[in-house]
Amino acid sequence: MSELATTVRDSMDSFLAHMRVERGVSPNTLLAYRTDLVQLAQFLSRASVLGGQVNDSSGRPHGPSLTRWDRVDESVATTYVLHLSKKGFSDTTRARKIASMKSFFGFLLDEGTVEKDPTENISAPRLGRSLPDALSEAEMDQLLDSPEGDKPPEVRDRAMLELMYATGLRVGELVGLNINDVDLDAGTARAFGKGSKERLVPVHPGAVEAIGDYLARSRPGLVGDGAGRALFLGARGRRLTRQGFWTILRRRAAQAGIGKKLTPHTLRHSFATHLLRGGAPLRHVQELLGHASITTTQIYTHLTSEHVRSEYDRAHPRAG
């Protein structure tokens, strides 16, 4: 493959790794994503939108190769949606393929690979979209209370969970934090999101206290060779990895008696869900989450609608 074609393939692999590690999707779902993206690439190649070579789902070369995803615009993406209809796919299958395309281009936008999401105004067949799983406030309290004791790992885990729930950070942003990225006096954390985009997020006093406790009592006992300025350290004294945090999260969830499937992204969804139910504007939540497009945040729209209705019922003199 040419260098550019390899870059495109790497973008697909990075997206699938993101879905596996940060979203916790199943192997079957990952396979579906891969198949959908390969089919999209094949269509684009045959349509002469992109040049170079792309492999099919079995790894065999198929047609001319892909070069750059940023050559796909809204008209091309719309043509692909029409192509899916002409192929006779069911609404469910078309919805999945369109969702795969939209998720992929949303990822590329956040990564800075494309400057505009060509699928932003494209809608999938309406099947009734459900909000991703989130913990209840009671379950979140159980999880935050699960690291009991004063040993370094317990103090560290308590600080990480408090910070995740306080900020809605992605797991990659959490483990990428350095000590100087958290300002305990100001109550802020500097996160570096997809495409190295920087944002400053507020940290509430409870999480600030937990992080301060970790820095004073726990981190010095975890430091090993290669720790550098990393904020959160693993058992070997080096920067904690995404997989390492996921392992910790599963263990703490089991200790808290939470039976539902839990991934790092569940904490992010819980953060957003609880904010919106508390009345936070969608735009503010978009900024806190670091979403490049409001359309990514709009999976939570029905929560804001519920809040508006409840406020109406509470405030309007004739609503009762």
Q: In sequence order, which residues have a C-beta less than 8 Å from that of residue 2 and are 6 or more positions away?
A: 52, 53, 65, 67
Distance CA 233, CA 226 (A): 10
Which residue type sits at 224?
Answer: G
* b/e map 130-158, b = 16+ CB within 10 Å: eebebbeeebbebbbebbeeeebbbbbbb
Q: Which of 137, 126, 151, 176 is nearest to 267 (CA)?
A: 137
Considering Cα of 305, then 309, then 311, then 312, what sign does the dihedral take?
A: positive
R_g of the chain computed on alpha carbons? 22
What residues act catalytically?
170, 194, 265, 268, 291, 300
Strand pairing report for 188-192 and 198-202: antiparallel
Which residue type sits at 204?
Answer: H
Long-range contacts of 172-176 (CB under 8 A, 24+ apart): 172/22, 172/242, 173/290, 174/232, 174/245, 174/264, 175/232, 175/239, 175/240, 175/241, 175/242, 175/244, 175/245
Asked if 152 contacts 173 with a C-beta cutoff of 8 angstroms, the reply is: no
Q: Give, in degrees to the nearest 5, the angle at Cα 168 between 146 and 29.
A: 90
Q: Which of 240, 135, 131, 247 is nearest to 177 (CA)?
A: 240
